[in-house]
Structure 1
């Protein structure tokens, strides 16, 4: 039965019910329209993107209720603690103590180990999370005798295995994941006596719009396996790709560079420089069209109050048609990841 707020309910109780309902919402499958006016926040409370990377909201402060939609102010060292709520939909903004880590809403002590999935073994150390892959197929990529590798799931087993596709099954010179293989390395750093291990970049988390991809590497001073995340965009969701597909043949067509330069927007920050990124088109035979060759570049963002920061962003060189369509890439994704937008000037 719908409950109406009126004279029958105390104003404070009504406000609590409405507030609890609002913040207990989870992220929608697709972002809806945002309010025309920006939120009216309390003094010194910044406006940030919600946890769904959809609309601007007021950052929740220490002791306030938070949720997947209403994030805490992270630059103050706050995180959303869901331990007090049985269902875990609504939490309280708490101060992250030194040395502790937060992963997918769970709090881990310094030195504590955990497994977010059967594929990774992670450790919290000095406030940073380092993960070691338990499956070695990403560290031991197929050699030249298998130029068109493909991962397959083995029933009853956690780790996938490599199989080799024939050349006829792949168009434009290689399997889609080849876009991420050139950056995967396995070498020896004589200066630190550390065997460098870097996995391939995962496929972008979204087939259109802005998402992210990740990899695991020990390329750091401590030679510890850590997760790296880069921002990525295969194609804009609102991009009209009609006319960009060849009427004959089975190759995908790369979307031309934007006629106008665009700026990336990330968490209320705008990229200092403008870019003309390339995007993937579509394939004529229904296969997937994904990046074939990419590069990663650091993009500098200018934020409110003069603050600047840099974030790694994927830039596409070429695309490829293939049958190995991207599957679930949600492993090790953070619930409150915020992704950028594109602004045309």
Structure 2
């Protein structure tokens, strides 16, 4: 179409076209490009340093402050108390139920404040219960939720045959009743005395419990919170004057952290079930020392992926004396025997108790 126009008009149109093209190019080159906003990069502070550099002697903590291993798993340090700052290295006093709350240091989550652990609820059969709530999942049990753990008291007490001799006792579900009852097939052979091979003393505890209107129920002790060093084990029991389900705690020490137990395994063996130090020692808590020395047993270690756990233990009460002269007592787990097996449990796994380790359950005496 441009070729059909007169010459002067064609030259004018070309000039206008070239002018517009130059103007467009100039505007494109002069416009500053849009630069996206750069996000601020943050370098995380390294609180732990390896190899470990520890002082020759551990620090002396104030009375009531625990001497613990730092979060770097290196040195002994005084645990931070409620309201004090904490980091991945400076841990809070877990003996007092404290944890490091990093919620106020967003988005870094480096420096926190030691806060009290709030009791958590429980979930049983898909139903959620509040901390401290008492409920009955069925007619046979009365349960209470205590800080994530469920403790139950059996409502049915006929767990063994009554104090009569019957050749064929049977536990039968009765119509309209929740609990099964013992029934004897041959009433002619019933006698009101206990059989000779059953001591009446075996039933005395049950009679006393009924006289106090309380059926004593105590759960097994939980696994120690630490695989080495001083930790805490808990259980739920109503063995008290009020017959109330309460959470009990005891200290536990599965094995010392500073001892290489593998060096004590005999040649040709892969496990050492029980380790015991040659010399007695004193327990130390928060700068306070046990009044008597002890020579405890520890669970050993294996080199073939097996783990050694206690299957027979008891609880002893240890008296401590502080530098100022004050005294207090703590319950401590006393290991009598250990067993090495493949049923290894993570002490921090709250779902570990859902599995059944019935083959080698702990025997407490």
User: Partner of 2:67 in structure 1?
Assistant: 49
Question: In the alignment, is residue 115 of structure 1 matched against residue 121 of structure 2?
Answer: yes
Shift of 1:320: 1.0
Q: Which has the higher contact order (CA 8 A, sep 6+)?
A: 1
User: Partner of 1:200 in structure 2?
Assistant: 220
User: Partner of 1:271 in structure 2?
Assistant: 290
CA distance in structure 2 between the partners assigned to 1:285 and 1:322 by the alignment: 10
CA distance in structure 2 between the partners assigned to 1:213 and 1:116 by the alignment: 19
Contact kept, 8 Å, 2:237 with 2:248, in 1: the verdict is yes
Which sits farther off after the overlay, 215-224 or 294-303? Answer: 215-224
Contact kept, 8 Å, 1:138 with 1:200, in 2: the verdict is no
Distance 1:218 1:31, change over 3 A: farther
Question: In the alignment, is residue 221 of structure 1 matched against residue 230 of structure 2?
Answer: no
User: Partner of 1:16 in structure 2?
Assistant: none
Distance 1:89 1:331, change over 3 A: farther
User: Partner of 1:321 in structure 2?
Assistant: 340
CA distance in structure 1 between the partners assigned to 2:287 and 2:146 by the alignment: 28
CA distance in structure 1 between the partners assigned to 2:278 and 2:209 by the alignment: 43
Distance 1:200 1:268, change over 3 A: same
Contact kept, 8 Å, 2:250 with 2:333, in 1: the verdict is yes
Secondary structure of 1:242's partner?
Answer: helix
User: Partner of 1:260 in structure 2?
Assistant: 279
Distance 1:208 1:219, change over 3 A: same
Secondary structure of 1:204's partner?
Answer: coil
CA distance in structure 2 between the partners assigned to 1:253 and 1:2 by the alignment: 48
Alignment of 1:56-135 (within 5 A): 56-57=77-78, 65=85, 69=90, 71=92, 85=104, 102=116, 104=117, 106=118, 114-115=120-121, 121-123=130-132, 130=146, 133-134=149-150
TM-score (norm 1): 0.52
Alignment of 1:182-197 (within 5 A): 189-197=209-217
Contact kept, 8 Å, 1:39 with 1:56, in 2: the verdict is yes
Shift of 1:229: 1.9
Shift of 1:316: 1.3
CA distance in structure 2 between the partners assigned to 1:197 and 1:306 by the alignment: 37
TM-score (norm 2): 0.50
Contact kept, 8 Å, 2:271 with 2:300, in 1: the verdict is no
CA distance in structure 1 between the partners assigned to 2:319 and 2:55 by the alignment: 28
Secondary structure of 1:194's partner?
Answer: coil
Distance 1:251 1:139, change over 3 A: farther
User: Partner of 2:178 in structure 1?
Assistant: none
The two structures, once aligned, show a CA RMSD in angstroms of 5.0
Unmatched runs of 5 consecutive residues or more in structure 1: 4-20, 95-101, 109-113, 144-185, 333-345
Alignment of 1:236-251 (within 5 A): 236-237=256-257, 238-245=259-266, 247=268
CA distance in structure 2 between the partners assigned to 1:301 and 1:31 by the alignment: 34
When Rg is computed on C-alpha atoms for both structures, the one with the higher figure is 2
Secondary structure of 1:190's partner?
Answer: helix
Question: In the alignment, is residue 298 of structure 1 matched against residue 317 of structure 2?
Answer: yes
User: Partner of 1:282 in structure 2?
Assistant: 301
- More helix, by proportion: 2
Count of matched residue pairs: 242
Distance 1:245 1:293, change over 3 A: farther
Shift of 1:231: 1.5
CA distance in structure 2 between the partners assigned to 1:33 and 1:331 by the alignment: 34
Contact kept, 8 Å, 2:302 with 2:308, in 1: the verdict is yes
Distance 1:208 1:246, change over 3 A: farther
